[in-house]
Chain A
Amino acid sequence: MPNNENEEVLLRVEHLCQYFKINKAVDDVSFDIKKGEVFGLVGESGCGKTTTGRSIIKLYNITSGNIYFKGKRIAAGTLSYKNNIEAAKEQFETDKELIKKSPKSEAEKKEELTKKKEELNKYIASQRAEIKAARADHKRQKFNTEIQMIFQDPIASLDPRMTVGQIIAEGLIIRGEKDKKKIEERVYEVLEMVGLVREHAGRYPHEFSGGQRQRIGVARAIIMNPELIIADEPVSALDVSIQAQVINLLDDLRHKMGLTVLFIAHDLSVVKYFSDRIGVMYFGKLVELATSDELFAHPLHPYTRSLLSAIPMPDPDYEKQRKRITYVPLRDHDYTKEQPTLREVAPGHFVHCNQEEFDRYQQELAR
């Protein structure tokens, strides 16, 4: 499934941070999504995967970091620049104390001080310019129809007082499409694409079953001809048999329309089945990132291992012998000496680790 020839990066997330007051929901997450691939994001509830998705589509104003879509910056946070300014100011204060204490003459001291001050001002000005640019970029790309989202709960995400046709057409109308005939035709077209029929346009969401509602959600997303779809747990509220229908639908559409998908889910078997590359998140951090085959064959981070060991299998004999690995961060890592960062252990396989673990992981892979 992975098409490696096409290396064009569609979405780049750099050092994304999303803080809610003191709660660091997403903390320094970076990844690329290439054109045409399915990027899976897994992790337990509350680890920040949904927040990442929503930050990309700008449902939140991100705290810090940059998001580039087709090379253009579509969202940017300012906290890092502000922090830089604070840090520089503090540095300046300490420098000042040092200069004052130094045994140089008064004139020399003054000269040095003014030099430092100038440097500081220049630096602050540059950072402020960055902030300004970030805000401008953030504002300019207010509506981006090329990224669309499919939500988890097909009941809650559809307005019960609008007909299916209205729900699907709403995006087009907001974009300024006035030709009723054209809208209608387009609605019928996408309805048929997702496996519903024209007649359904006049009905209300409550008349549909769960799987059909999720199809309506998909139809609403693809009517804008998006390049990237963010699917936030699109199947976890559905029954197993309906799940397969929706996954097959997404797979078909993806090949037909050349879609790129950011697939967020907690069901690892589904993610493995559907994704080309997978990122594993734990408490706001991206702890491991690899192609899906590589991740399942050689999980390196202890959290990934514990996740994989928890997958239920339809096999009684296997289940009876299954040993679940638990992940205890304090036991599994020793970060007193060196803080961990995201490092590339093997080509395309990133793990959140420090140097010592990095060496160990490489040895493990070599074996």
Chain B
Amino acid sequence: MEKILSVNNLVISFRTPAGKVQAVRDISFDLNKGETLAIVGESGSGKSVTSKAILGILAGNSIVESGSIVYDGMDLLRISEDQFYHVRGDKIAMIFQDPLSSLNPIMRIGKQLTEAMLLKGKARQKSCRKEFNDTLALLSDAMVEAEATNESAKAAELRQMCKNFDKFEFKHIELEHEYSVAYEAALEVHDEIKDVLFYIEKNAFDDEKYTIKEIIRLVDDSINDWVVSGEDAVTLKQLIADLKKVASAGIQKKEYTEIARILKSMDVILAAALDKPEPDFFSMGYYVTFAGKPLPDMGVEELNAYLRDYADENFINRFRECAAGALKYNAEKYNALKKEALKVVEAHKSVFEADKLDKKACLDAAEVMTKAIDASIDRLEIHKDSIAYTFGSTIKILIHSYFEGIGKNVVASKKHAKQSAKYEKLVAKGKQPSWKVAPSTAVDLDLVQQNIVDLIERLTNHYEEVLAGADKRSYENETNELIKFFKNNASGVVMKVTKSMAKYKALKLMEEVGIPDVRKRYRQYPFEFSGGMRQRIVIAIALAADPDILICDEPTTALDVTIQAQILELINKIKKDRNLSIIFITHDLGVVANMADRIAVMYAGKIVETGTCEDVFYSPAHPYTWALLSAMPDVDTNEKLEAIPGTPPNMIYPPVGDAFAERNKYALQIDFEMQPPMFKISDTHYAATWLLHPDAPKIELPKIITERIARMKSKGGAVNAE
């Protein structure tokens, strides 16, 4: 499983007049590609804060105290707003709880859908161009080094090769783009004509003027050298002219026979065009750019073979070979450097494991390590090595927070001594003060130190893994991936986002999320939509930039049951179609069962239980999960519900031990004194409760849950049997 996002040791608090509210207290989780992670918890448990931190939209009074959120070689907590511009919405998108408040009431739906595409179009073009150039430069350097030639002639040849690649790659994308626009148009108009003919036959043709106009536009678009060309194109143009002439009179008289005749003959040509095979534009791009002679006149398949041979012989084979060689050379070079880096890390690790850290030694060690690691990053790799990229900044911040923490703790302990003296005095007088004594330590130094050690360990483990897997790498595949990467970036540069193109894409998206009558809906305002439709629009907007990660913050809480089911199905479908990773935030466990691959249960800013969907529902381990499950009625519940007594703790003064202890009837004495660590139940299932300690008394699951699980099992069996 490929990790796409990882959150490590995140701590976030909010400055408020009453004190510092600790919203998120040291949570860590990973998100894999194509999986749904559900974060479940009550309001105020910190689940929304986490998601907002990922998206960099925390409120102004928030303080990110420590931790890192690593995505694509960046630490999202530390990058500048300029860098975030390319991540937020583009790579990580969010769906909010209330669809009405996340849409602008005075803008038409169409404008809201295309707004971001148009705004971001230019920036995307620029960043794609930069990415393309940078990677190509790296590649050509690596090629030159790999061939290890001192002859400047050979080096020059290699560099020229990369330049040529640059040139024809763009030609290729241009040709392909033109073709796909025409082909899509032909496909669409083919369907449209079928519908229109059907309606004419059934005497139910309406909205004629608009439909005919649309057909004419699409047919016009479909004329392209590789879709409809030569004589066919001339005929089609003639037919369009005829249709224009006939249409207005025909529509007025409600006589459609002539129109139907023209449409039929159009359709014949289009259907033939759609059956044609697709030319190989990659080779053609090379031929057109460098052969210096017109394309030979032959059938498409023949032409493809000819072009491919020509390109392979003259360029591609050599290029592939050199690229694979360069990749291999690079990988070996950097693996050696990685080994070096590991040695350096190993040598300096002990500095951070001492009982008391020394500031200068720590900073020096961190610098040496960072230097070695930075040198060992293979920047030609497309999948960025997030841990290595962010290592330097993360460790620096951790060290600083440790040494600042020492000072803060001194201040806090003084304050604590003062307050507790006052408190005791008041208690001695027989009063019950309404305020609480602030804790004596502001920063948990041991925890920070542990985080540093963990970070180093994570890096070494990761590097060892990479080194161990070095033999299994297939450089041919990587070359293919690299070429694909170039292609994607080139198409990002070539495809200018125009208004009409954005509209076309928006309509496609609206269809994808299941909105009927898209052309009419495109021109409407949000108030004309029902709740479910609005949420679909919000999802379409989120998908507009084709993100990697979708964060859904209670997307169905404001909707009723049927619409909720529809939206959940839609999100599941999109996830499958686009291989999206989803973070799904909700307080309703019932919703999660259908959606999640993994579940993290949060309470008072901590993850108390995490596991796969089956783990959490069939063998819950934390009392809070039990409570959540038993507080929820299902259609077979008859007995009294087990409500969770009390309310979540005040996070200005978080409890010393397990935060749930006060509301927990299974709480042990130790729960009030010490925070439980994460106990491992299975490879996927962890829970933070002292009940899992080997010395703890054995406690049975609450009856209401065991009964429900038994019922579910029997029911599930029945479903299976059917």
Contact = CB atoms under 8 A, between A and B. Distances in A.
Task: Please indicate whether A and B come from the same complex rather than being unrelated chains.
Answer: yes
A245 B629 CA distance: 14
A158 B339 CA distance: 66
A244 B632 contact: yes
B561 A314 contact: no
Contact of B712 (A243, A317, A320): A317
Interface string B563-604: 111101100000000000000000111111110000000000
Given A241-B42, A321-B719, A270 B594 contact: no
Given A241-B627, A315-B593, A316-B617, 19 more contacts: A212-B647, A244-B644, A247-B643, A248-B641, A248-B643, A266-B560, A269-B635, A270-B633, A273-B641, A274-B633, A311-B561, A312-B590, A315-B712, A316-B618, A317-B712, A317-B719, A318-B719, A320-B594, A324-B566
Interface string A256-274: 0000000000111110111
A118 interface: no
Interface string A208-250: 0111100000000000000000000000000111111101100
A341 interface: no
A202 interface: no
Interface in A89-114: none
B614 interface: yes
Contacts of A306: 562
B628 A240 contact: yes
Contacts of B562: 44, 306-307, 310, 327
A314 B43 contact: no
Given A241-B42, A307-B561, A317-B712, A211 B634 contact: no
Secondary structure of the B contact surface, majority rule: helix
Nearest 9 interchain pairs by C-beta: A244-B643, A273-B633, A310-B565, A319-B594, A244-B631, A312-B590, A266-B560, A241-B644, A317-B716
A366 interface: no
Interface string B490-529: 0000000000000000000000000000000000000000
Contacts of B142: none
B635 A311 contact: yes
A10 B588 CA distance: 35
A201 to B, nearest CB: 17
A324 B567 CA distance: 12
Interface string B523-551: 00000001100000000000000000000
B640 interface: yes
Nearest to A323: B719
A236 to B, nearest CB: 9
A270 B561 CA distance: 12
Nearest to A45: B560
Nearest to B562: A310
B617 A315 contact: yes
A274 B639 CA distance: 11
Nearest to B639: A273
Contact of B643 (A44, A241, A266): A241
B130 interface: no
A338 B476 CA distance: 71
A313 B641 contact: no
B715 interface: yes
B232 interface: no
A310 B561 contact: yes
Interface in B613-638: 613-614, 617-618, 627-629, 631-635, 637-638
Contacts of A139: none
Contacts of A318: 593, 712, 715-716, 719
Contacts of A209: 647
A46 interface: yes
B415 interface: no
A267 B635 CA distance: 10
Nearest to B561: A310
24 contacts: A44-B561, A211-B647, A242-B42, A248-B640, A248-B643, A251-B640, A269-B633, A269-B637, A273-B638, A307-B562, A310-B564, A311-B590, A312-B594, A313-B634, A314-B589, A314-B632, A314-B634, A314-B712, A315-B715, A316-B593, A316-B594, A316-B618, A321-B719, A321-B720
A311 B565 CA distance: 8
Interface residues of A, number: 45
Contacts of B716: 315, 317-318, 321
Interface of A: 44-46, 209-212, 239-245, 247-248, 251, 266-270, 272-274, 296, 306-322, 324, 327
A63 B720 CA distance: 51
B648 to A, nearest CB: 8
A325 to B, nearest CB: 10
A366 B421 CA distance: 78
Contacts of A272: 633, 635
A306 B479 CA distance: 51
A324 B643 contact: no
Contacts of B594: 312, 316, 319-320, 322
A361 to B, nearest CB: 21
Contacts of B588: 240, 312
Contacts of A312: 561, 564-565, 568, 588, 590-591, 593-594
B633 A314 contact: no
Contacts of B560: 44-45, 266
Contact of B641 (A247, A307, A327): A247
A296 to B, nearest CB: 6
Contacts of B478: none
Given A314-B708, A317-B712, A240 B564 contact: no
B638 to A, nearest CB: 8
Contacts of A244: 631-633, 641-644
Given A44-B560, A266-B560, A268-B561, A241 B628 contact: yes
Given A241-B628, A315-B716, A317-B712, A273 B637 contact: yes
A108 B641 CA distance: 77
A290 to B, nearest CB: 14
Contacts of A266: 560-561
Interface string B163-206: 00000000000000000000000000000000000000000000
Contacts of A211: 647
Interface string B701-722: 0000000100010011001100
Contacts of A309: 565
Contacts of A46: 530
Nearest to B645: A245
A241 B647 CA distance: 9
A103 B594 CA distance: 76
Nearest to B635: A272
A240 B561 CA distance: 15
B200 to A, nearest CB: 23
A116 B38 CA distance: 74
B96 to A, nearest CB: 17
Contacts of A269: 590, 632-635, 637
B41 to A, nearest CB: 9
A239 B531 CA distance: 21
Contacts of B633: 244, 247, 269-270, 272-274
Contact of A240 (B559, B566, B587, B635): B587
